[in-house]
């Protein structure tokens, strides 16, 4: 049992004189004053705790060493490498096309037909016109003088010319005989005047002269007649020669008509043979451009066919990005598999085959004209995911480095014309100047200023300075 001890006041220790003096000098506080004083002390304490610096929560990531790829991100589309647009080969009425998109076609199969009846009728008409033109030409050719007539006329000319020569010779002979008769007559007249010869002899010589004059006149007339005969024969030959040449222009006209009809006939026959339209390759029908029966003109597009498995990529990039792209660069194609839970993303690979040498102008979504270049790529992995003209998001790898020291781009910021990061040391931020190299869309190569596994701050705000206390999330 506990003992209860009662102490008498007389047993308590007595205060010393100094204590009594100090108590006399202390101020006397009321109960209300003590309450207010306590509240003030608590408030000051809380305010001091509130303004005490606390660590800033930040996102951090260690400096890594690994593969870094510099890529050109762009949108592209798939394209069948060799597609064919089958067009109407002739003007005519197209029969309804029975093929549908996706149908298989084999090379040489008929895929469309055009009604051949109008073309066959036109061919028959052209054949009739050709026969008519040839008959007319033959009729003109029969109007020419025969070669026998020309030969006879030339012979007649030769005979007439020979007769003319003989007549001229007789004229010369008659002239010589007349001259001799005139000399004989003059001598006879002189002798008769002297009585050396009888007058009968003189009259005989005069008669002989008269006879010779008449013979000369006759010879001259015969020579003129022979000349007329030559002229008549030559005139007849000229007439025949003109008649020989007169049909030439008609023959040329008919020859031109025949050549024109033959050309038209050849074209009509060729058109008539092309009313059946055949598939140029083995493949599938990609699109039926003209399904219903209708009149079509030559060149009207009817069907587009191709091999859906023979795909290539067409990627248009900015011309300044195309400067860094070379044939052989790897192309990464993002492909989401939506059939798998959480939508797993796979990357298919392709290779750059060609950077087209010519750029083109394209208006962006913001209405800005841009110079762009087509990059053509070939699939390395299977392209079975895609069909013709599918849109794809691609990354063209223009540089790749192994064992590269790298940090996220979100940790970098500009400071005094340099690049800097904040490094976490002893739970405080320390600004560090770095030198960067190649950059991808998310990471940058660190050439100096950092080492592996150092912790850098992502998305540094203006609140963070050197010495600021930080706390990783």
**Structural domain boundaries enclosing 450:** 58-68+402-472
- Identify whether residues 355 and 435 lie together within a single domain: no
Predicted pLDDT of residue 7: 44
Which strands sit side by side in the sheet containing 301-306, from one edge to the other? Answer: 84-87, 301-306, 283-288, 104-105
Q: Is this prediction's pTM over 0.75?
A: no
pLDDT for 32 equals: 72
Q: Residues 221, 298: one domain?
A: no
Task: Flag whether 93 is in a domain.
Answer: yes
Give the residue carrying structure tokens 């061919």: 123
Show Cβ contacts of residue 336 under 8 Å, excluding neighbours closer than 6 positions. Answer: 343, 344, 345, 346
Q: Scanning the structure block, which residue is given the tokens 């009809």?
A: 261
Rounded to whole angstroms, how far apart are CA atoms 384 and 226? Answer: 106
pLDDT of 408: 95
Look at residue 11 and tell me if it is in a domain: no
Same-domain pairing of 155 and 216: yes
Residue 217 lies in a domain: yes
To which H or E segment does residue 162 belong? helix 147-194
Burial 359-373 (b: 16+ CB within 10 A, else e): beeeeeeeeeebebb
Can you tell me the distance from the alpha carbon of 70 to that of 409, in angstroms, rounded to the nearest whole number? 13
Surface-to-core class of residue 405, CB atoms within 10 Å of its CB (0-12 exposed, 13-18 middle, 19+ buried):
buried
Write down the pLDDT at residue 76.
Answer: 93
Which residue in 407, 349, 404, 410 sits closest to 381, CA to CA? Answer: 349
C-alpha dihedral sign at 108, 112, 117, 122 = negative
pLDDT at 340: 43
Q: Which ranges of the chain have pLDDT less than 70?
A: 1-31, 47-53, 139-150, 237, 239-249, 336-346
Pairing type for strands 110-113 and 443-448 reads: unpaired
CA distances from 387 to 88, 218, 221, 287, 393 (A): 26, 113, 109, 13, 15
**Final residue of a domain: which of 361, 377, 401?**
401
DSSP state of 387: -
- 235 is written with which tokens? 């005139």
Alpha-carbon separation of residue 67 from 150, 405, 424, 455 (angstroms): 104, 9, 24, 19
When computed from its CA atoms, the radius of gyration of the chain, rounded to whole angstroms, is: 63
Tell me how many domains the chain contains. 4
435 and 377 part of one domain: no
pLDDT of residue 21: 55
- Res 145: pLDDT: 56
Q: Which of 349, 383, 401 is the endpoint of a domain?
A: 401
Residue-wise pLDDT for 137-191, tens only, equals 776 656 565 566 667 777 777 887 888 888 888 888 888 888 888 888 888 887 7
| CATH number assigned to the domain comprising residue 97 | 2.40.50.100
pLDDT tens per residue across span 215-240: 888 888 888 888 888 788 777 767 66
Given a contact cutoff of 8 angstroms between Cβ atoms, the answer to whether 288 and 98 are in contact is no
User: Residue 148, by phi and psi: left (phi above 0), alpha (psi -120 to 50) or beta?
Assistant: alpha
- Amino acid 198: pLDDT: 81
Q: Is residue 355 part of a domain?
A: yes
* Side-chain half-sphere exposure of 78, counting CA atoms within 13 A: 20
Instruction: Kindly state whether residue 269 falls inside one of the protein's structural domains.
Output: no
Tokens describing residue 305: 């066919």
> What is the reported pLDDT for 9?
46
pLDDT tens-digit readout, 391-415: 999 999 999 999 999 999 999 999 9
Residue at 19 is within a domain? no
What's the N-to-C CA distance of the chain in angstroms? 61
């Amino acid at each position: 049992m506990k003992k209860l001890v009662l102490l008498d006041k007389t047993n308590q220790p007595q205060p010393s004189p100094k204590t009594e003096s100090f108590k006399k000098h202390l101020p006397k506080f009321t109960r209300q004053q003590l309450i207010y004083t306590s509240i003030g002390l608590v408030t000051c304490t809380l305010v001091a705790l509130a303004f005490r610096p606390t660590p800033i929560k930040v996102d951090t990531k260690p400096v890594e060493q690994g593969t870094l790829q510099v890529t050109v991100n762009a949108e592209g589309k798939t394209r069948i490498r060799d597609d064919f647009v089958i067009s109407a080969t002739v003007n005519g009425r197209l029969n309804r096309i029975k093929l549908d998109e996706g149908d298989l076609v084999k090379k040489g199969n008929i895929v469309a037909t055009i009604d051949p009846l109008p073309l066959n009728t036109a061919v028959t008409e052209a054949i009739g016109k050709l026969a008519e033109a040839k008959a007319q030409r033959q009729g003109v050719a029969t109007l020419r003088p025969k070669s026998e007539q020309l030969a006879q006329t030339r012979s007649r000319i030769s005979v007439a010319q020979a007769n003319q020569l003989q007549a001229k010779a007789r004229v010369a002979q008659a002239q010589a005989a007349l001259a001799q008769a005139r000399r004989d007559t003059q001598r006879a007249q002189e002798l008769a005047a002297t009585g050396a010869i009888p007058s009968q002899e003189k009259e005989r010589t005069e008669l002989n002269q008269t006879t010779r004059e008449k013979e000369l006149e006759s010879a001259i007339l015969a020579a003129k007649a022979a000349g007329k005969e030559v002229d008549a024969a030559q005139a007849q030959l000229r007439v025949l020669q003109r008649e020989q040449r007169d049909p030439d222009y008609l023959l040329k006209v008919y020859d031109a008509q025949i050549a024109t009809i033959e050309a038209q006939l050849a074209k009509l026959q060729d058109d008539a043979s092309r009313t059946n339209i055949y598939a140029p390759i083995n493949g599938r029908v990609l699109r039926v451009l003209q399904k219903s029966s209708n009149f079509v003109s030559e060149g009207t597009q009817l069907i587009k066919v191709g091999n859906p498995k023979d795909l290539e990529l067409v990627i248009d990039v900015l011309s300044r990005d195309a400067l860094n792209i070379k044939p052989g660069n790897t192309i990464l194609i993002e492909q989401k598999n939506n059939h798998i839970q959480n939508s797993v993303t796979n990357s298919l690979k392709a290779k750059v085959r060609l950077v087209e040498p010519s750029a083109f102008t394209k208006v962006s979504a913001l209405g800005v004209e841009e110079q762009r270049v087509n990059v053509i790529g070939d699939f390395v992995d299977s392209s079975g995911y895609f069909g013709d003209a599918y849109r794809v998001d691609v990354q063209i790898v223009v540089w790749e480095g192994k064992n590269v020291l790298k940090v996220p781009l979100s940790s970098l910021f500009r400071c005094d014309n340099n690049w800097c990061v904040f490094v976490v040391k002893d739970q405080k931020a320390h600004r560090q100047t770095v030198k960067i190299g190649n950059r991808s869309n998310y990471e940058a190569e660190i050439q100096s200023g950092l080492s592996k596994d150092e912790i850098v701050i992502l998305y540094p705000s203006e609140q963070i300075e050197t010495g600021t206390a930080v706390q990783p999330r």
